[in-house]
Amino acid sequence: MPSKPEQSLPLSRRVLYGITNWALLVAGLANLAAGTFAAFSDSPAVAATSLTAGLVLLFAATVDRFESFKGLGIEAKTRQLDEKINQADEALKRLRQMTELTGTALIDLNCKMGRFDSAPSPREFFALADRIRELMRSLGSTEQAISLALAPWAKTLCFDIARAKADPLNRVIRLKMEALERERQAIPQPMHTDDPTLLRVNQQMRALSEFQTSRLRSLHKLALEDFPDKFMALFTDVPMTEDVELIPLRQEASRFAGGMLSLVKSRELADRELWIEALNAAREQ
């Protein structure tokens, strides 16, 4: 079968090359036959000359085939090398992007450290996580590594929304504490330590204060895996608080429970616009 370079030649030249190859082949075979006969006839000089000439003629007749095989091998190696170079270029590009992102984040973090009014907006916070996730996937990072890298981001989101949705409950507790303090101040003087009203008020204030300390003010101690269960537990068994007060607060908080669970499991959040709106509203208060 003619090689590709041969197929690109004019027909007359291809015919000439074909005849030449066949002539060389016949001459080479004839010399090999003569050399073999001379070897059996005890003519070593003639045999060596004929065999050498035959091999040279056969090589000349098939040299284009050797060049074709060599060319195919070089072409395959070149193609593999090109693929490796392209992969390396793409990896360098992604590493450059990751370096730029890391450098920008570090500078931004150092510039904003200690400045409570300069934290990234919720939308910027989501965009940063999306970019990190995309870059890590493009560099071949495993989903486990990506999940580990985004865990602090997911925990911060859960904590921010939990604090925002716990604030109304904290206000309810604070109002009850203020009412109890006014009631205690209204007890006739001098107050006696065994006064029933004083004992009741002190007990109720201690219960409310303990609830604030152990639960409302301990949200930052929750691990990522504690959401949403321990967050939703805030709205149950609240001292001196009726269900009629807790139901609307619990319903509002439950709107974010599914998102918290998604962040815990997959570091993804489908209803991010709901979260962005709630977090922006909390920042403006």
DSSP the chain: ---HHHHTS-HHHHHHHHHHHHHHHHHHHHHHHHHHHHHHTT-HHHHHHHHHHHHHHHHHHHHHHHHHHHHHHHHHHHHHHHHHHHHHHHHHHHHHHHHHHHHHHHHHHHHHTT-GGGSPPHHHHHHHHHHHHHHHHHTT--HHHHHHHHHHHHHHHHHHHHHHHHHHHHHHHHHHHHHHHHHHHTSPSSP-TT-HHHHHHHHHHHHHHHHHHHTGGGGGG--GGGTTHHHHGGGSS-TT--HHHHHHHHHHHHTTHHHHHHHHHHS--TTHHHHHHHHHHHHH-
pLDDT 10s digits, 162-178: 999 999 999 999 999 99
Specify the pLDDT at position 115.
Answer: 47
Positions of the chain with pLDDT lower than 70, given as ranges: 1-18, 20-29, 31-32, 34-48, 50-78, 99-101, 103-118
Specify the pLDDT at position 69.
Answer: 46
Specify the pLDDT at position 68.
Answer: 52
Model pTM? 0.64
Specify the pLDDT at position 7.
Answer: 52
Specify the pLDDT at position 38.
Answer: 64
